[in-house]
Structure 1
């Protein structure tokens, strides 16, 4: 029976962020890449809402033997889900995960209608600014031009920055792989080292010349590390 891999994108992410992972692992694994409903209305704490949404996604498909792979906000969701439902998860992969510290200069986006400013902010996600393609910048610019979506982004970012996972990490004793860009400016390498210190069974892999989204910027190296972890 194939294992189920669930890919969880970040705050400004989308399913396309995982295209290299999906293409590489879809033959050997059941790949799931749900859209995280950041912009949906709800009355709960946003993180509780997103974890519950993931729970419903998993239950509706009767998924077992889960490998959760989360980037940035997606990693935060994966941590919370694995802590609350450990019987469902067999392995956890975090890359640029929130939950300890994020260097988000989001504020209220006073220049959110300034395309060049947004372009700079997106480029700051990566080590190589060429990764900030026009398509990617256009996508973020469109989100921030929408008042409701912009408000949801800012609110979610502020809540995740205050929602520390320090207390629950020592209780997550399943195998964890940390794949981190050495040049990550949003969750710097000190964050990865703290995750490794707090998680009982974690392995840390650094990718050089790589920023906050290793699966996009260094897909071959990311997939190699992930493949070794999945097959051990």
Structure 2
């Protein structure tokens, strides 16, 4: 399904459906296709918002986890979203964590899947090689349990980014920023109900990372999806959506009881 990319000032975003806002933050090589199944499912019950992170548009100084967290806060303030659910995958999860720690007042729930912020293997033990298509193909495939999930279009997109020197510099700056920005000592401050959804075969942020998040975030619950890597909402969308729907329904019922 094709979604309209809207523009407001410097911001580009998708906004589909009506209801409580559900804001989705994509990862380092994130694309709209990552959330296609999630958008089509939840647009019937929520206002689903996907801000396009300006991965290659900010100056190098602000190309960092903190820089993108500030960008997202400005976007949310501009749009006037209140009482929203915040979901992030990989780097997007890390940005969501920084946001909720600095601006907890309007966040209703937090959902993390394959999030950085504690540990990640990133590109592994080597930098992405410009011009080496097979290397990029293997690095993209290892993100998933089933290598076939890395479609030729997705591999081509990652290859295109890594083969552009200026874009590659920004990717490396972001990856290093994520490694430096460890949030372990701050996660105990998060009070909102938090859902952690992890792939059992995630090699980028392995299952022990999910257990550590679960231990450090007080009001959190952890769900694993089998035969699944670093992007559950993309690789196992039906199971991911069912877990998320159950969580959001439970939160809504709890809020109604308290009211």
Q: TM class by shorter-chain length?
A: over 0.9
Pairing partner for 1:137 from 138, 155, 171: 155
RMSD: 1.2
**SS class of match (2:51):** coil
In 2, distance between residues paired with 1:45 and 1:104? 16
Q: Using the TM superposition, name which of 51-60 and 98-107 deviates more.
A: 98-107
Which has the higher relative contact order, 1 or 2, with Cα contacts under 8 A spaced 6 or more apart? 1
Displacement, 1:56? Answer: 1.1
Q: After TM superposition, what 4+ stretches of structure 1 lie above 6 angstroms from structure 2? A: none
Query: Which residue is equivalent to 1:80?
Result: 98
Paired residue for 2:218? 200
- Give unmatched runs, 5+ long, in structure 1: none
| TM-score when normalising by structure 2 | 0.87
Q: Which runs of 5+ in 2 are unaligned?
A: 1-17, 251-259
| Count of matched residue positions in the alignment of Structure 1 and Structure 2 | 231
Give the distance between the partners of 1:92 and 1:153, measured in 2 at CA.
Answer: 25
SS in 2 for 1:231: helix
> 1:180 Cα deviation (Å)?
0.1
Residue matched to 1:188 = 206
Q: Is the 8 A contact 1:4 1:66 kept in 2?
A: yes
Q: State how far apart, in whole Å, the 1-side matches of 2:132 and 2:127 are.
A: 13
Q: Hey, what's the Cα distance between the residues in 1 that align with 2:123 and 2:103?
A: 32
**Equivalence map 1:215-230=2 (5 Å):** 215-230=233-248
- For 2:174, the equivalent position in structure 1 comes to 156
Q: Could you state the TM-score of these two structures normalised by the residue count of structure 1?
A: 0.97
Local SS of the residue matching 2:145: coil
Query: Of 50, 62, 76, which aligns to 2:80?
Result: 62
Tell me the residue number matched to 2:253.
none
Q: How many angstroms apart in 2 are the aligned matches of 1:112 and 1:168?
A: 37
Which residue of 2 is the match for residue 115 of structure 1? 133
Question: Are the counterparts in 1 of residues 62 and 68 from structure 2 also a CA contact under 8 Å?
Answer: no
Pick the aligned partner of 1:28 from 42, 45, 63.
45
